[in-house]
Amino acid sequence: MKIFISSDAMEWFHGEMEATNGDTIRFYARYGGSSPVHDAFSLGVTKDTPFEPSATVQIEHIMFFVEERDEWYFDGHDLYVEIDSKLNELAYVYKKA
């Protein structure tokens, strides 16, 4: 799996999560909500330290990652992180790899 972060999403991370050089940001499966790939689970995001990352991307000296234990959630999809312009929130798009 691969992770793609749009430039608008990068602005969101800088503004909303105060992400700076050297930060590591994790995408993880959480119980509750729903997504196009799983009912009853949604995607969470937090600053965290990688333990066993299975997918990583570094943009502007910030590493985004998914831990091996959460890879099941993506079900063979790549993750595209964008912005929902109406809500000014992160929006996740899943595309089969």
| 35-72 pLDDT per residue, tens | 777 677 889 999 999 999 999 999 999 999 999 999 99
Query: Which three-class secondary structure string do you get for 14-43?
Result: HHHCCCCCCCEEEEEEEEEEECCCCEEEEE
Domain boundaries, the chain: 3-96
**Mean pLDDT score of the chain, rounded to an integer?**
92
Confidence class for position 24, pLDDT limits 50, 70, 90: very high
Q: Which phi-psi region, left, alpha or beta, contains residue 86 (left: φ > 0; alpha: ψ -120 to 50)?
A: alpha
Spatial CA neighbour of 29 closest among 63, 61, 73: 73
The pLDDT of residue 42: 87
Assign a CATH topology to domain 3-96. Hypothetical Protein Aq_1857; Chain: A; (2.60.300)
Which tokens hold the place of 60? Answer: 């502007």
The pLDDT of residue 88: 86
Beta strand pairing status for 24-34 and 62-67?
parallel
The pLDDT of residue 2: 96
Residue 34 has pLDDT above 80, yes or no: no
